[in-house]
Amino acid sequence: DAGITQSPRYKITETGRQVTLMCHQTWSHSYMFWYRQDLGHGLRLIYYSAAADITDKGEVPDGYVVSRSKTENFPLTLESATRSQTSVYFCASSEYGRETQYFGPGTRLLVL
Amino acid sequence: AQTVTQSQPEMSVQEAETVTLSCTYDTSESDYYLFWYKQPPSRQMILVIRQEAYKQQNATENRFSVNFQKAAKSFSLKISDSQLGDAAMYFCAYRSANRDDKIIFGKGTRLHILP
């Protein structure tokens, strides 16, 4: 189906482990984004990408790594997970020059 | 830096009544976009309505409308004829028209619909 998907939808991991969250969109949107959502903070931007091989930091990038080798994929990696990274993670995309972002269903991550 | 403030953490409204959610923002820019997103219990973020700052006319989408006051930097959302399916978290958001496509979100207002 067309749209933006995230996997896994739920993940439990342990402190210190590496975790990769996947994001895939079928619209060929230029821009892709990763947000985290925490109580009391709303949504905060972690990283974004304007095109393949172009990424930039958002508001809270520490502890995260992204890559974008293909336009449709934008994986987010937690290199060494910490409890403070327990959150709900949203991926989003938008067309170049268009203001509206479309969100994936989210990934709930629990770090023990 | 731009900020978005939603001063009402929670609100309740009787089914079929009208409710208004408040949002204020701070920016030094003149050209930007404003959005309201809805997040139901499924956690999906759904675009409800958007407003271009250069347009004086308030945006409307069916039962949803906004009151955009540019000078006051206010962007409230009015939901008419509230329905049980409107129960959700609502986020106000801002995006500059002059930079890259980053959106700044408020902390949200949880809306309860009373049957």
How do residues B60-113 score in pLDDT, each as one tens digit?
A: 989 999 999 999 999 999 999 999 999 999 999 998 887 666 788 999 999 999
Q: Is A38 left (phi over 0), alpha (psi -120 to 50) or beta?
A: beta
- Predicted confidence band of residue A112 (pLDDT cuts 50, 70, 90): very high
Percent of chain A with pLDDT over 90: 76
Query: Which of A42, A94, A106 has the CB atom closest to B105's CB atom?
Result: A42
Confidence class of residue A2 from pLDDT cuts 50, 70 and 90?
low
- Preferred mutation among B46, B101, B107 to probe A, highest tally of A CBs within 10 A: B101
Using a CB-CB cut-off of 8 Å, the residues of chain A touching B50 are 99-100
> How many Å separate Cα A57 from the centre of its chain?
12
Strands (E), A1-112: 4-7, 10-13, 19-25, 31-38, 42-51, 54-57, 64-66, 76-78, 87-94, 102-103, 107-111
Residues of A with a Cβ under 8 Å from any B Cβ are: 31, 33, 40-45, 48, 50, 56, 58, 88, 90, 92, 94, 99-103, 105-106, 108
pLDDT at A6: 96
Average pLDDT of the segment spanning A72-97: 93
A80 in Cβ contact with A95 (< 8 Å) = no
Residue B103 and residue A45: Cβ atoms within 8 Å? yes
Testing the interface with B: which of A10, A49, A100 to mutate, by most B Cβ within 10 A? A100
Rounded to the nearest angstrom, the minimum Cα separation between B59 and chain A is: 15
A–B CB contacts, 8 A cutoff, strictly below:
52
**Residue A107: which of A3, A7, A1 has the closest Cα?**
A7
Residues of A in Cβ contact (< 8 Å) with B43: 88, 105-106, 108
**Per-chain mean pLDDT for chain B:** 92
